[in-house]
A and B are shown apart, each in its own frame.
Chain A
């Protein structure tokens, strides 16, 4: 009996040691003899998050010793952490605001803003929704404005059937929220409060795909990734119904919900070689990353605007070695 216990204990400890050893060596499976090591912390917009994750995956594949973590606390939440010095890169679906600039200045944090992609904020409905294929901006405002009491599709347009409306959208920490409320309701932060507000866009996907009368809004990439579960509404800004896709976002016809997506990089963090190389890799590969993560890539004009910043980074890297 005692030898059986001893055997069990011995095999359990060997198994534990093996598993922990395997955990450590898992990273060196990739190729490349990269000597870069360290941790890069990214946080911010849930819209830009998937693109940064694609960049992180690509970078970690070539530099297995570097760990890149990508959080999605929302653009506002990300900036707070960024201006407290807690993150190296902040994802943002809107430009930095004056109070955030002040917070960064107060902590002596200098940053570099870089546009990495474009986005068309999509309004989505359930595939079973056959009546709302095109909505005008005033109709959207009626649904989402402060104090709105719209709970049924018939209230939006008498031609629509009577179907209860379930609303899902971005929370107040989200850059998507700021952008949507500014463009649709006219003022940033002005919104109705009775809806399922979340910084996690996947919850919105789940909610809208599960409710016949569901309506939600988030970045285009979330729609592209869930095309089988959702339907994107065409937006009519007075010049006809425009479908959100790469082309209409890039040529500016998808109004008013087209927007640039940024990453803000802490200049002090750039002194670390792994951060520098990561940002370089990110900027050099925006087209392929955008394709992979189903984002709207930069136009050729925007890419050429990025070139001098990339050159500056490269010379910084060369100079500091």
Chain B
């Protein structure tokens, strides 16, 4: 820099660091990857649009109040009844049965694998958990129908009332719980492993037992991840189709008794879709209406899950 003129103040020279000419290759790759990410956004938007139109047409002919509060569901018969409560109650019952299995056993497996198991035990148990996750749901469905239901009917104690019917929500729910178990176990275990050792070591240093450290230190510290895994498990249970279609039956039944046959929202959509409803008929639109209900329920659960995770999150340096 040379000041050629004594009166001129030296111009501040901005030296630009980085490439002097644009790198088109890099930009292209960035654009391509952005496109990949946009595909998921586009798909969600596409699904919402595809669901919205027939559902809105449906709700123009059937008032949404009677849809959500009606107790009789027979949309394909004439005259049709459009009360969706039996389907919703069935979904809730099967989900509850699934949670009874997957939450204690999933969380328990996670705590065992992260706190108590030796390395060699982990090497054996983890692959089995992964195999459980890989079994096709249709296989689970037939397993529930042909093994779990007869087993339950055999060992059913008298004081619990009637034994399970040949199609029932209990078998379907229990097997669904087993299917979801790897998800809950994996995610909870990841959350527990992310808790820094210093927290645990501090507790040990204060004289805490292993159980105390696992349940009172590690789990509360990993709570946001664990809750997220539960909510993911619930979402999967609500959306599961094949197991309930095969094992829980096709009788819409407004009942909270899990030994009875009942038809969930997903099973109705599958059964009605497998049959033949003329496009544009009321039966066809019913499928979309139930689909929208399912979508909104899952969406609500995702929002709740994000809120909960954010609230409980602990950031460790």
What is A's interface to B at a CB cutoff of 8 Å? Answer: 73-74, 76-78, 80-81, 164, 166, 171-173, 189, 191, 193-199, 203, 206-207, 209-211, 214
Contact = CB atoms under 8 A, between A and B. Distances in A.
Contact of B251 (A76, A189, A191, A194): A194
Given A171-B275, A199-B275, A203-B250, A191 B77 contact: yes
Interface string B156-189: 0000001001110000000000000000000000
Contacts, number: 62
29 contacts: A73-B276, A74-B275, A74-B276, A76-B276, A77-B276, A80-B278, A81-B276, A166-B165, A166-B166, A171-B275, A172-B77, A172-B275, A173-B275, A173-B276, A191-B77, A193-B72, A193-B74, A193-B77, A193-B81, A194-B252, A194-B253, A198-B271, A199-B274, A199-B275, A203-B250, A206-B166, A207-B166, A209-B166, A210-B166
A144 to B, nearest CB: 12
Nearest to B77: A193
Contacts of A80: 276, 278
Interface residues of B, number: 23
A116 B45 CA distance: 50
Given A171-B76, A189-B77, 18 more contacts: A73-B275, A77-B275, A80-B276, A80-B278, A81-B276, A166-B165, A172-B76, A172-B275, A173-B76, A173-B275, A173-B276, A194-B74, A194-B251, A196-B167, A196-B261, A197-B76, A206-B145, A207-B249
A77 B274 CA distance: 10
Nearest to B249: A196
B78 interface: yes
Interface of B: 72, 74, 76-78, 81, 145, 149, 162, 165-167, 249-253, 261, 271, 274-276, 278
A198 B251 CA distance: 9
A77 B273 CA distance: 11
Contacts of B271: 171, 198
From B81, B165, B275, B278, name the one whose CB has the most chain A CB atoms within 10 angstroms.
Answer: B275
Nearest to A193: B74
Nearest to B81: A193
B166 A211 contact: yes
Given A193-B74, A206-B145, A211 B165 contact: yes
B166 A189 contact: no
A246 B219 CA distance: 69
Contacts of A203: 250
B276 A196 contact: no
Given A171-B76, A189-B77, A197 B250 contact: yes
A211 B81 CA distance: 27
